[in-house]
Chains A and B, each alone.
Chain A
Amino acid sequence: MTAPFKGQFWPLPRGIHPPENKQQSLREPIRKAALPKRLVLPLTQPGFVQAELCVSVGQQVRKGEVLARGTPGMGITLHASTSGIVSDIAEHQVPNASGLPELCLMLESDGRDEWLKLPPLDYQHCDAPMLIQRINECGINGLGGAGFPTHAKLQGALNSKHKIHTLVINAAECEPFITADHALMREQADEIVTGICILLQILKPERCLIGMEDNKSDAIIAMQAAVTRVNDPRISLVVIPTLYPSGAEKQLIYMLTGTEIPSGTITLGSGILCQNVGTVHAIARAVAHGEALVSRIVTLTGAALKRPGNLDVLIGTPIAELLQQCDVDATQLSRLINGGPLMGLQLPHANLPVLKITNCVIATTNAEMPPPVPAQACIRCGFCADVCPATLLPQQLYWFARSKELEKAESHNLLDCIECGACAYVCPSHIPLVQYYRAAKAELREEKEKHLMAEHSKERYDYHQARKEEEKRLEEQRRAERVALAKQRKEAANAALAVAGASAVADADSAAKAAIAAAMERVKAKKAAQPTTTDSAAAPASIPAPDSDTKV
């Protein structure tokens, strides 16, 4: 593998450049959000396992105290975001795609915001298991999007048979409107670089590449200065052109390393691990300060806010309170979007808590983001294919998804679609393409599950049949053995009789008697042999030939 010269990158072949709309929320430094009276803390991070509750209603907790412990492996531990009393454990709506409520802890703040920290660690004198243990204890998951448990990712990297050679730090923040990472880098660059050093300590990669879009010059300057201060030759900052979706994991890895992650595999298989810059900051706080992940930077922006900006928000703070702190104009507000305008989730209302993965809330107006217009016919203009960062043919996928030709959709690599929304953004016919792909993917998954279940039950049936055959065969074998034994015994008896007969030969008179006795013996033997022969004749018929198995 060749090390890139400073600043080298591989340009993203396709993408879009919508209006950035980042300036609105960057005018002021990060503000600390007001301490909410009541926090809502879901036990489950969207898409992951529910944590095991370890407090009871009425219990007094301090900030950073464990409320629910993550199950071993993929679990994410939940901490109290501030000090107060657990007032209730009940279902509450959270920002998720399903719209279904989740089991949440309600925490009444006591206003003191009293910390319970873990002892700080000097990472340079810690080994990897110890650091991963700390990250696990502090409940850190990816803050950039999917929210994958960070300790599980790191442990997976250490367990992987591919050694991690490149650590990629995702600081691209390519989606319009979102500036949470930008603001964080501008103000906390040293802490972020400390986090990077901790990751280097754990993973021992050959190099670490920080990918940043060129539209955040002040953050680039701050980060470059911080990188220079630690003076680690493995770390380099790579400034890439602003082109959405450069911050998508696989796209960023390509831009920084020229490596494409093979379809259907994870980055660890290619020896690359990617972490979001916010996550890295949380790691630094956890290790060097003993602080659990109880707050994050959230961008509050959109034309309905008179005072947009980046807020340092406690996890579980109701979004409605944040909107108020940004002087929301309720008469103008048309839609609330959790995340960016291209991949974000529209929220039904503001009475939802901030999660660990909530990076941005856009309170928009109809003028800023007009409601979708009815879709016209697809004219196959191919604008979608011109922008698809995965180099798919979105237009063909759309026709396959519409006509439910799932196999064709799969053979056209539907599952490689990252749902970035670039295709739908440029579609002149305003077709909600991503919606079609999501539906088709879900159907495909369902088909596969069904297929798997059918396979499974067929396997069970076959096993059952085989077992029955085997039992039958064993039974036959035992029977044949019994018969053979009986025959053997009889023959032994005959032989004894024959010896007795031979001794009687001397008696000439009895010679005729012996002949009669021998004839009678033969008849007897024949009689005794008869059932045996019928049995052995029947036996092959009762053991079906292997190829007739299925007919039975």
Chain B
Amino acid sequence: MSSPAINSSPHEHQGHSTSQLMQQVILACVPGLAALTLYFGWGTLINLVWLCLLALILEAAVLYLRRRPILFYLSDCSALLTAVLLALALPPTAPWWLGLIGITAAIVMAKQLYGGMGYNPFNPAMVGYVVLLISFPLQMTRWLLPEGVGAALPSFVDSLAMFLGAKPSAGIDAFTGATALDSFRQFHGGQLISEFYERYPVMGVWSGLGWEWVNAGFLLGGCYLLYKKIIGWQIPGSMLLAITVLSILFYDGGSSASHGSPLLHLFGGATMLGAFFIATDPVTAATTPRGKLIYGALIGAMVYLIRSWGNYPDGVAFAVLLGNFAAPLIDACTRPRSYGHGK
């Protein structure tokens, strides 16, 4: 035995690492990503590759400037996860520069300038998304019509052309249209829910053609994360419960004044992605057991409020950032009682 370094207890470890957690979360994105690709074409995949590449380069560059060990921090995979989450949120028509600006805001501003992994008060992917949504509303709301409605999906070459900023062969407007949530917001007024769904095939059966499956995909991935105990049930549970309760309250029997069915809100837009992948980002979320419940419910309520009475068709990004603001306060107010400190 060569004289070993003397270490402090404990000498045993469960064996999990932060890198593994990040990799598992990325893996759990696969069903949702597959559904997005199936219903909306190659755009998301192209964005994903592009953003991952940029994220690694930007993270390495800032680490170099900050004189931190580059490979050690890159290997935690947190930059990759941010890139994946932002790519999943971007419209598949996004040109290359949109991704560049978004990921720069996410990695450089929201993460590294605050001190890097673990020190960022706001979810980097959502900061990137919101910067883009506010700066480039046109590009950020130009979603593709899902497979099965109107024109065929753009081919890989057309998708690549859109990514590079060129016009696809048939012109970009041939493929694009409002998303289900957006259509609901713009065109539902004055009609019964059932009438409206019949008139707008983009609404699909429950919550938008394609979107139903995208959300189901993220729900599946979320269940995997729950099963693996990588995330807790509290945040997604309370967020989805808040959305369900509010949407039942304001469903109004599917009348012309209805704000949409619970299924529309649960399986529409970015609900499941937000509930299982974004709001659960541990760095920016509340951490106490009761605090997580409050945090999730707050985000769920904000999502519903923004969708129903706000200016945006979807509100997950804003809701999460508002939740991030509140997290330290929530934590401070919900400290658990320690052993031996009275009931």
Contacts and interface: CB of A to CB of B under 8 A. Distances in A.
Interface string A243-272: 000000011001000001111110000000
A47 B288 CA distance: 36
B13 A430 contact: yes
B338 A392 contact: yes
Contacts of A254: 339
A348 B8 contact: no
A392 B339 CA distance: 8
Contacts of A264: 340
Contact of B118 (A336, A378, A419, A430): A378
A349 B3 contact: yes
Contact of A262 (B11, B12, B21, B340): B340
A395 interface: yes
A391 B337 contact: yes
A215 interface: no
Nearest to B20: A428
Interface string B7-30: 111111110111111000000000
A341 B11 contact: yes
B340 A261 contact: yes
Contacts of A176: 12
A376 B117 CA distance: 9
A453 interface: no
B6 A348 contact: yes
Given A260-B339, A413-B338, A428-B16, A434 B10 contact: yes
A416 interface: yes
A374 B12 contact: no
Given A346-B7, A393-B287, A435-B8, A380 B282 contact: yes
B8 A379 contact: no
Contact of A389 (B3, B9, B119, B339): B339
A438 B9 CA distance: 11
Contacts of A427: 13
Contacts of B76: 376-377
Nearest to A350: B1
Interface residues of B, number: 43
A18 interface: yes
Interface stretch (A27-35, A83-91, A327-335, A507-515): A327-335
B304 to A, nearest CB: 26
B18 to A, nearest CB: 5
Given A334-B1, A430-B17, A369 B12 contact: yes
Interface residues of A, number: 67
A429 B12 contact: no
A418 B195 CA distance: 64
B9 A421 contact: yes
Contacts of B309: none
Contact of B339 (A334, A390, A429, A430): A390
B18 A260 contact: no
B57 interface: no
Interface string B112-124: 0000111100000
A262 B342 contact: yes
Interface in A109-167: none
A438 B341 CA distance: 21
A99 B7 CA distance: 13
Contacts of A18: 12, 14
Nearest to A331: B1
Interface string A284-317: 0000000000000000000000000000000000
A382 B340 contact: no
A235 B218 CA distance: 56
A250 B10 contact: no
B339 A343 contact: no
B283 interface: yes
Contacts of B12: 18, 176, 341-342, 369, 425
A333 B287 contact: no
Of B6, B8, B331, most A-chain CB atoms within 10 Å:
B8
Contacts of B19: 376
Given A335-B11, A395-B287, A416-B338, 15 more contacts: A176-B12, A254-B339, A336-B1, A373-B17, A377-B18, A377-B73, A377-B119, A380-B283, A380-B285, A381-B282, A413-B338, A425-B14, A434-B9, A434-B10, A435-B8
Interface of B: 1, 3-14, 16-21, 72-73, 76, 78, 116-119, 232, 282-283, 285, 287-289, 331, 335-342
Interface of A: 16, 18, 99, 176, 250-251, 254, 260-265, 330, 333-337, 339, 341-346, 348-349, 364, 369-374, 376-382, 385-386, 389-393, 395-396, 412-413, 416, 419, 421, 424-430, 432, 434-435, 438
- 4 closest pairs, A vs B, by CB? A421-B10, A377-B118, A263-B340, A341-B12
19 contacts: A250-B339, A260-B339, A262-B341, A337-B11, A344-B9, A346-B11, A372-B13, A379-B18, A381-B21, A381-B282, A386-B232, A391-B339, A393-B287, A393-B336, A395-B287, A424-B10, A430-B13, A434-B10, A438-B8
